[in-house]
Structure 1
């Protein structure tokens, strides 16, 4: 299934579950009947927000490395984050696939056919890489999605009153399937969010965590994680930085402190 197909499935699934919860005999429907429209409206808006965030993360540039790191004239900061300058004695290696100068922590993605800055992983669900540019928004998306799923779990549970009859099962099969699907997705999203927040707090990536022993700049460093600057600074740099980071500067500065 292609990227367009996955996005269509995501949108259709979100809309179908939300609509099913609104139409079945749940707390949301009971509130609608009593004219209390605030919670149903907020729930629908949250579902819409999660879908919009999904499309934003899946379609945006994750931090593709441009040829020879040249910022094209006329590009605004909205179109391209500023490429940091490096000391003259720091040399970037060339990627063996796309032949661009590859900054530290970048990796070539075989599926996207691009080198990605601060490469984390290629996410099959969003059909895009998660890198330095879209990683913060990816975590925001996971957070909003988790809130939606937990709320949907509560709504679905409120509509499940069990009766030992075939007619009851026929009338509630959609709600039961929705509930099971929500539980599965809640577990997956929760585990993803926890793992990503932990890695971000340590200033490491999924790729670096899984392949530490194979990455040259980690194997040859005196520090286990040369990019870790403490939880507060790591989170600040990750969520609040408006520019790409020159990781080479941090790497060589931290290593030189040990000499």
Structure 2
């Protein structure tokens, strides 16, 4: 989380330097500076949204019975053969398919992707789209911030110049580093989403029974368009067992 706060903070360190945004502000052209500030604020709001919201914690049977839950509306098809619902050995809840227990959060998370140390929270079925939105906005802020930092640099071969611009130069190098990291992270997530797979499933298919025993390499892949639509446009939790049993002839 500290790393991500640094990446957000570096985008504003160079505001007091001579840059394109400062020149526009001095000329009374406030549109671009205002948009930049709004993007930074949007990035911060999405950060807190993703880090504080429920990523898709699996409810216990007592919690489901105590109140109306969205999980009650999920229709799980009858599994062929002697298939039993997996029960978590840590929190003892019935795990739906694609769920995994997170040791750091101490909860099972639906369609678990990974535990992100940047946000201090799991990325799961509920907050994964917001995580992608956050990465996208953060990437725009970093690219724009890098351009602004570069516009404030006027290179001179003198020690005085380096002393006066060391903070701006360090900010620019940090922004470039974080831009590469966020870009790679966003591209990799979009690729996995287009295939309807998660980071956990992609990295450890040999450790996941429903993937190890399936005749299909990815039993949840329904094509790029439907995968993207289900991820970004579906407002409800998905019964992944239904897709799995329809596409796999050897369910677990």
Q: Equivalences for 1:182-221 in 2 at 5 Å?
A: 182-221=175-214
**Secondary structure of the corresponding residue to residue 108 of structure 1:** strand
Q: Is the 8 A contact 2:54 2:126 kept in 1?
A: yes
CA distance in 2, matches of 1:47, 1:63: 27
| CA RMSD after TM alignment | 2.0
1:84 counterpart residue number: 74
Q: TM-score, normalised by structure 2?
A: 0.92
Higher RCO, 1 or 2 (CA under 8 Å, sep at least 6)?
2
1:239 pairs with 2:232: yes
Q: TM-score, normalised by structure 1?
A: 0.90
1:14 counterpart residue number: 8
CA distance in 1, matches of 2:72, 2:24: 49
User: Could you say if the C-alpha distance between residues 215 and 12 of structure 1 is closer, same or farther in structure 2, counting changes exceeding 3 Å?
Assistant: closer
Q: Is the 8 A contact 2:215 2:249 kept in 1?
A: no
1:175 pairs with 2:165: no
Gaps of 5+ in 2: none
Q: Where has structure 1 moved over 4 Å in runs of 4 or more?
A: 9-13, 80-83
1:43 counterpart residue number: 36
1:228 counterpart residue number: 221
**Secondary structure of the corresponding residue to residue 103 of structure 1:** coil
1:126 to 109, 119, 131: 119
Number of residue equivalences: 247
- Cα distance, 1:73 vs. partner? 2.1
1:70 pairs with 2:64: yes
CA distance in 2, matches of 1:83, 1:207: 26
- Cα distance, 1:39 vs. partner? 0.5
User: Could you say if the C-alpha distance between residues 83 and 178 of structure 1 is closer, same or farther in structure 2, counting changes exceeding 3 Å?
Assistant: farther
